[in-house]
Amino acid sequence: MVSPRLFTPLTLGGLSLPNRIVIAPMCQYSADGEGSMTDWHTIHLGQLALSGAGLLIIEATAVSPEGRISPWDHGLYSDANERALARTLAAVRAHSPMPIGIQLCHAGRKASSRVPWEGGGQLPLEEGGWDTLAPSAVPYSPGQREPRAMTTAQIEQLKADFVASAERAARLGLDLIELHAAHGYLLHEFLSPLSNRRDDAYGGSLENRMRLLLEVFDAVREVFPADKPVGVRISGSDWVEGGWDLEQSVVLARALEARGCSFLHCSGGGLSPDQRLDLGPNYQVPFARRIKAETTMPVIAVGLITEPEQAEGILVGEEADAVALARGMLYDPRWPWHAAARLGASVHAPNQYLRCQPRTLKGLFD
């Protein structure tokens, strides 16, 4: 019997995944106020690590305090952050063999925000907010404080911050790094002509707008172990006229591949409140399909992928090499088990849960 494509192994750089289900990074806004993980993260990541997915990527992790989306975001810029993450990883790894990666991020002009359940708007300075950084002094939406256009010295510091966080990730033994250049955060802001109005080497032409992301990638790749993958998450389009689009994404993908990028994780939008998109199943998969056709590096697809047959169809149709789920995994933390049952495959489960296997599904668990 041929195994479903979703449950065949995948190699990212030197990392072998047992299947092609990726748990995408999901912000929890539950750090301790100094960027360090709490018990919530141990519970949250622990349950996801028992799901049988092929890879778990830790939420967008700030490389500096001002790079946090909210005051309660996770960071990896201090010794305290590193110690807290080490404790969580030790607890999770004691009970799960799942590879664990981390997404490194700077929120740029979308930093200093309230948590989503408090409205998510920009946090006033008098309530604990801070001045944000961006390529240019262009706010995300009208009425917000203008971000500060980054100086050359601040750009150099940003690269150093990404390197320092990558070195901490290496010390922690994390299996993978994903650079967050999507959803309107700082690296994406440099890519898009809507947010990047610079007239120096980091603005103007496509080559210049890509420069910072490529330099950050090169710097992180140099300090992270060579046998471990470094990839990038991009927004395939801003979905705004005159903004970042799929044709520019193809050029970026080729440039990243030439530098040894291990994978591209294709999302979309997030840069502008003016975005216009047709929300529906697979709505972002066309980005992955095009990038996969134009490069040879593995591509991860996202976009309201909720059903096992839907995910399998994306892979069988050669639209992507893996699929990533976020909210769907929160709704159903055993999604990989249920997908394996539906598609006739087997999946890893902890010994403590083996007895829950339904009698009609003998062979579901490895």
Reported pTM: 0.97
Of the candidates 77, 76, 106, the one whose C-alpha atom is nearest the C-alpha of residue 88 is: 76
Structural domains of the chain ordered from first start: 5-361 (3.20.20.70)
> Is position 353 annotated as part of the catalytic site?
no
What are the mean pLDDT values of the chain's consecutive 10-residue runs (366 residues total)?
90 97 98 97 98 98 98 98 98 98 98 96 95 98 95 98 98 98 98 98 98 98 98 97 97 98 97 91 96 98 96 98 97 97 96 93 90
Token pair recorded at residue 330: 């929160």
From the list 29, 77, 140, 185, the catalytic residue is: 185
Nearest-angstrom CA–CA distance, 207 and 278: 30
Residue 91: how many CA atoms within 13 Å on its side-chain side?
17
Q: Name the token pair of 4.
A: 């479903």
**Residue 40: CB atoms within 10 Å:** 14
Distance between CA atoms of residues 300 and 366, nearest Å: 25
H helices of 53-176, in order, are 79-93, 152-171
Whether 331 contacts 339, CB under 8 Å: no
Residue 1 confidence (pLDDT): 55
